[in-house]
Amino acid sequence: MRNFLLALFLFTFPAYGGELTAVVKKESLLLSSCTFSSTSCSTFLDIPWDKPSFQFWLSYYRNRWNRVKLLSQVNSFRIFYPTVREIFKKEGLPEDLSLLAVVESNGNPAAVSKAGAAGLWQLMPGTARRLGLKVNWLIDERFDVVKSTVAAAKYLRELHSLFHRWDLAIAAYNAGPGTIKKRLERLGADQFWDLTKLPDETLEYVPKFYAVLSVVKSSNVLNRPSKESLVTVKVASRTTLSRVAKALKVSYSLVKRFNRQFRRGIVPAGYCVYLPSRSIGNFKVLKYAMNSKVYVYVPRRKEKLTVIARRFGVSAKFIKRLNSLRCNVAFKGQPLVIVKLGEKRKDGNS
């Protein structure tokens, strides 16, 4: 299949040598003007301009509809990108690898494959458990944006320490390290581009990733200002997604869509719920959400606001105002939103 696609590509573009030179110049100029930050300009990963399989995928994404589809997926991924980029940076990985999520799941944290891989990083249950994620009847942390990204980052770093090259690490992420190691030993090769007889999916996976990286960087879509961001809400006492939705005035269907890790709709104490900022209907909370820690607390019995306030280190008057309460007590099962001003949450576990 791979050879057929390459043959088709070469047949379609007979003046391939001249086209390749023009492509390299054009894409290099585009990349020189696009960055992942406003203060630096670095490609981070070396793009394999001279590889035919990469050029095939680059040509594929030059098609208008293919490019529109890709950029639509990337646009949906934008809300998660700052979180993913920050985690990868913290783990010492090239920020470019963040776009591997687009190749894996189209940037969709709720994605599930026919083979059973799930989440933004399409982790199989066994791999997820080995990386420290919970996968059981109540919780499936493969759908947790923060925890799954931390696990994927550790796995990629592990693969890079094994193969010492990012092209091989990326291939191993798709095919498994055992498969890549066997082919390297059998062929005496030291890079992905020299490997043969790999699964077709893996042979296309690596060049496709580099093509996506090139197109996204040249489009500069991830640098455009966004009006929407991901809000992290920590649940301080065991509750349900429906109560979280009620406290924040968000539709239950949206809360469920962004938090598929809670398979039964039950949120244990200490876990985090993620929501797009523009969906939060409690505007008093939204005002503070991006610069403060936000909690949802559900009393198990009738409690005075002063007691709850002391527990969280906030003002009782502030809790009353945020939740539009008429009295100074909270009743059993009544979800409350609590904001600790000036304490920005760094990740989903803080």
H-type alpha helices, the chain: 2-12, 16-32, 52-60, 64-77, 81-90, 100-105, 125-130, 145-163, 166-175, 177-187, 200-219, 241-248, 252-258, 283-289, 305-312, 316-322
The active-site residue out of 104, 158, 185, 343 is 104
Q: Is 104 part of the annotated catalytic residue set?
A: yes
What SS3 string covers 264-306? CCEECCCCEEEEEHHHCCCHHHHHHHCCCEEEEECCCCCEEHH
- Annotate 141-187 with three-state secondary structure: HHHCHHHHHHHHHHHHHHHHHHHCCHHHHHHHHHHCHHHHHHHHHHH
- CA dihedral of residues 269, 273, 277, 281 (deg, nearest 10): -60
- Residues forming the active site: 104
